[in-house]
Amino acid sequence: MYRGGVKDLRGWGGRTARFNYNKSRQILSELIHSFLALHGPDELVEGFAEPYFTDFVIVVSDLDETWGDSTVVMGSILKECLTARNGVVALGGRFANRFKIPQELPQVGQLFGFTDRQVQHLLYCSRMVAKTDSVAIQDGYDLYFHMMILSHSGMWSVIQQSINPFTSSVRRYHWFSGYMKSFVEEPHTGIVSAEKKKRVLDMTAEASRASRKASLEVLGQSVPKLQRIYTFGRAVNQTTLDEEGLEVADFLKPHREKINWTLLNQLGNNPPDDYEQLLAVKGVGRGIIRLLAFSVYVCYGVKPSLADPAVNPLEFVQRYSEDRFLWRLQQVVDALKSSRLSPEFKRHGLRRLGEVFGSRDVEAVSG
């Protein structure tokens, strides 16, 4: 049974930093190539869509001990060791590198034999994943890492990571093309964070379906009316809501977010067909999404989901099938044992898995 998540980051520092990075790079590269030989590119893509599989890989490679961000370092190594010849590649990265996918994807698409239409669709998916986690989910975290893992069959997964600028806590978002039915309703395979917030505006939750639908109706209101609602949202003498309603309204109303009134007027004259189309419009950011959710609550009393969608690593077993958890663990253990790594590295990897995830489960799947 999963007894804990990946450890808090601890420093390498000093002269050992380069040595430890090279060691982790060697382990991760051999582990991934062994996994590919056993299970193939599509299975690797699907694996990285699951938080616990990603944690298995991070722990075996000792990346949970890195001086920096384990997910970022893992992404950097994956970009180095995976090529089109492997049938799977890693695109994007942290900070400015996450914006390079529009340049990287066409090149990879040519190598994989994708049509222009397929490449444009993949680019759209990448943009919508980033926009959903930064705009449709407003959790107080800022995205800084976006990595797409893409196979030659067109199957993809995305790992994104964001940081709370006030607490420096990070959370990780996982997506998988094989499970996703919508960009705007329960699209994630997992969101993991050690920090849970009391309230988060989550327009992707199933509970926000009515709010999403009503948001499109509110777009039909005139801009002057929306501006009155916006001003009303900043008033303190609102008496038509009870105490809880006032707290919800105060949370939903835009505070520092900028509102593009010209764009709102254009959307009112040419309304989108659905919420995904609204979210896809360039310029629709946190302010507009929040204003619409607030207006819906004030006008119709329809409240969006305010529950934090993130799951603490310790809650994984409660949220995911333990059989699937053990199956993924078995795959990583088999890949480790079949790799070309030295017996010392293999024993170390198994020991680290046991330390973090429970020795009994590791022993059970490793024989």
Model pLDDT for residues 13-46, shown as the tens digit of each residue: 444 556 678 899 999 999 999 999 999 999 999 9
pLDDT of residue 338: 97
Q: Judge whether 49 and 175 are in contact, CB under 8 Å.
A: yes
In this predicted model, what pLDDT tens digit does every residue of 140-178 receive, in sequence order? 999 999 999 999 999 999 999 999 999 989 999 999 999
Residue with tokens 């309204």: 249
| DSSP three-state, residue 165 | coil
pLDDT of residue 29: 97
Residues with pLDDT less than 70, the chain: 1-19, 65-68, 233-241, 316-318, 359-360, 364, 367
The H or E element spanning position 183 is none
Long-range contacts, 245-249 (Cβ 8 Å, 24+)? 248/297, 248/303, 248/306, 249/294, 249/297, 249/298
Residue 295: Cβ within 10 Å count? 25
- Would you give the distance in Å from CA 67 to the centre of its chain? 22
pLDDT of residue 190: 93
CA proximity to 275, closest of 184, 175, 207, 188? 184
- Compute the distance between CA of residue 270 and CA of residue 130 in angstroms, rounded to an integer: 24
| H helix runs in the chain, sequence order | 16-39, 41-48, 51-60, 70-81, 101-112, 116-131, 209-218, 223-233, 243-252, 261-269, 275-280, 286-300, 316-319, 322-338, 343-357, 359-366
What the block records as the tokens of 143 is 């995205």
CB-based contact 197:139 (threshold 8 Å): yes
- Alpha-carbon span 191 to 172, nearest angstrom: 6
Picking from 185, 191, 82, 171, the residue whose alpha carbon sits closest to that of residue 128 is 185
Would you state the pLDDT for residue 101? 95
What's the confidence (pLDDT) of residue 237? 45
Find residue 161's DSSP bridge partners: 145, 172
Percent of the chain residues topping a pLDDT of 70: 89
Q: What is the pTM of this model?
A: 0.91
Question: What pLDDT does residue 40 have?
Answer: 98
Task: Count Cβ atoms below 10 Å from residue 14 Cβ, excluding itself.
Answer: 8
